[in-house]
Chains A and B, each alone.
Chain A
Amino acid sequence: MTELERYQDPLTIQRLLRSASTIAVVGLSGNELRASNFVGYYLKRHGYRVIPVNPRETEILGELSHRSLLEVPVPVDIVNVFRAPDALPAIAREAVTIHAGALWCQFSVINEEAARIAEDGGVTVIMDRCLKVEHARYVGRMHWLGFNTGRITSVREGLQ
């Protein structure tokens, strides 16, 4: 667990959420009932440019789907992964190749080798965390539905 916590640092998570603009979602499903589609839809709704990476689809959430990260034609701030853990090392290598800012692996998408590859290549790693949940925790409205954000603050934020 302590190894994983290295990849779950709250300050790193907040910096990524606030600085990223383009998010490539590897394994994004075209099925509206799948978790990855919920996350992609949510991120797009909150102003991020969402780029699907899924060789089995041509268009998802109104965006052209790419066969691999290497085919994404624009700089990527976050690579968000919805794939089995054993697919992670190859994805990490591609993330390094395209100079992605961060490799963000969803719940249970855990692979130490991939984390090492990404870190050695200068890519920030977040692992076993949901990008939608973390956005909803720090920026969004997760608290509107009674979920425990863990946040304690008396700072007044701007209009929502």
Chain B
Amino acid sequence: MKIATTDATPGATKRVDARAVTWARCPGGDSRIRGAARSSYRAPMASASALLRRHRAPVRATCRALVASAVVLAASPERAATAAPRTIDEYKHFRALSIDLVGRVPTRGEIEAFESKGFDRDAWIEQHLEGPAYADRLTRVYMDLLRLEVGNAIQVNPPATTLRRATLVGPDKKPVYVFYRRGQRRTREETDGDFCLTEAETGLKFTLNNQPPKGTAKPVPKAALDAHTVLVRPWWLYRDFLSLTPSRRYKAEWSDPPAGYAPIDKIVNEPDGAPTVEVRVCREEAQTRDTGTIYASGRAPPPPAPKPPAGSPPAPPPSYPFGRLRPLPVDDGYAKQHKGEPISCRSSLALTMSTDCGCGIGLQYCMPGDGDGDEPRAFSLPGHEPLDFESPLAAGAQTVSSWHKFWWREEAAHFLRRVFGEDRDAREVLTARYTMINGPLAQFYRATSPASCCGKERAFGMQEEKEPLFDPSAVPIALSPHDVDAWQVVSDRGPHASGLLTMPAFLEKFASRRARAAALYGAFLCKSFVAEDLSLTPSTEADLTKRPGCSTCHATLEPLAAYFSRVEETSWTYLPESVFPVREPRCKLNAQGKVPGFCETFYDPSFSDKSSGMLRGAYASAENAVAGPRGVAAAIVRSPEFATCAVERMTSSFLGRPLTGDDDNLVEALTTTFVEKGYRMRPLIGALARSAAYEKANNQRGGAR
């Protein structure tokens, strides 16, 4: 009878020489191992084979684990010579360790190694506490708690950085695509604030909302097309889009794009299916300067429509000049006042207050879309990534918003993996000024994030973000938007950056000040808000820390929420002290008890008085509002509950059950270890994995046959 005594898993034979195979060879994929993986289970579908290179992660993880086993065995020359008798409990403990620290059940080869006399359990544990599966395991605990993936309710497609696409009929009567930004100011009056070609030229009216253009397309005169649009070699098609003559085109000269970078066909092909070489863009959008000038047309606002007499039939829809569906834009007070002054082309205002700001070289500051709807699509992304980005499931076309939100989550996950994988101080989860980003995130922080500001802030003199949570100048220059698999550490995002708390994934997932505070309170202090048992009575008390029935929770929640007073709700815009003081005299209550209209978004009439307005959210603690997110991070990690809570989270997760009072001694001992070792998880998990509670956690009941 023949029975294999070794793993069939690639590279897992007993003959693996631990001294010859190093950890460094695994991540890139040892060629022998890759070859074995292919030959062992060659995927029958061509597409699957093509994806193999991209999806090497499981092989790599297996390789690392197996090499780790081999290293442990190598310490004992007589390994496998004679097997040491093991009890069923020892086998089950080893299996549990493998599941928690390797991320899967042990292979036969690993069991064989465990059975050998030379097996050193402690060395095995220490080795696997440095592996990627360990970092993933811990990351999962906090990702499960915070669920840092933003749902469909949040859209991330600022008009200033979203290129929509119109389909026209070209001079040759063939369909032609033209990219444009909604609301773009143009010096040509007919198209100011609208698409760059008129109805007379295209046969179409652009609604600028989520409706398709109206009318019947007709061939655009060549002269009009040439006058108002230009051809560009855009970033999404050219690897070398920053060069003077980009030549490395996607899937042509640029033959090896990163596997996760997948523009959809509609973005890389012409309407007839031919590969796109250059894209046609409205002339204003193709401009490349970083600083523009404030534009004022001098146009007078249209006279108000006469009021129809009572009882008259409904008035016909208004008509606008040049067959437009929208009125011509008029200059606002600020534009008139500051006409000709410089304006950053990266702010949202540049779109509506300048005619000389565009999307930059190769349109690098804008995301393309495949249509003119609200949520155009651009890239393929996996619908799910149950394991990690390197092991995705089937991909499909996703919207521009989904693209950004996908990478937000990845930023949080990569950040956590770094903290745990490098065994850094766990308090950095909340306090770190560093983060990890890749190409799409670099593009987001360079362009889309700044373009989300500023609107109503302008009334306070803030035209663009003054103290962003992520300073765009901190983005590594070398990161190109295509670099989906190149993750780099940004050592300092800026003075207000604070771990997860200032990442878009957290700020959008928990969009309000109170939601943010409550999430932290639960996840990092292991506390929750439970209302007292009483009947609510009508109350006019605006202060929730005092209102009967509310104060039970809000006496704690409001001061915590005040730490987020300077981060706008549903946004990541930071409201600096210099522009938005906690007390703003301009926003004082008037005789009617109201604050001026421009103040209402930022200042709360309920807590303002006749001398000044109160910054929203700050009423419960002006001190906390000044301290900001870094203040709440510091307060939480200083709290005695922080360490205990972290230990409880991990212990409960590894024991696979809620903790009870009977676990107090274990938690106390582990907390001592955790704190004494500088809030590092590795000693904590090492002690936990060796604890009797963990060893006996699998208290399998009898009866399974």
Q: Do A and B bind each other?
A: no
Give residues in A with beta carbon < 8 Å to B: none
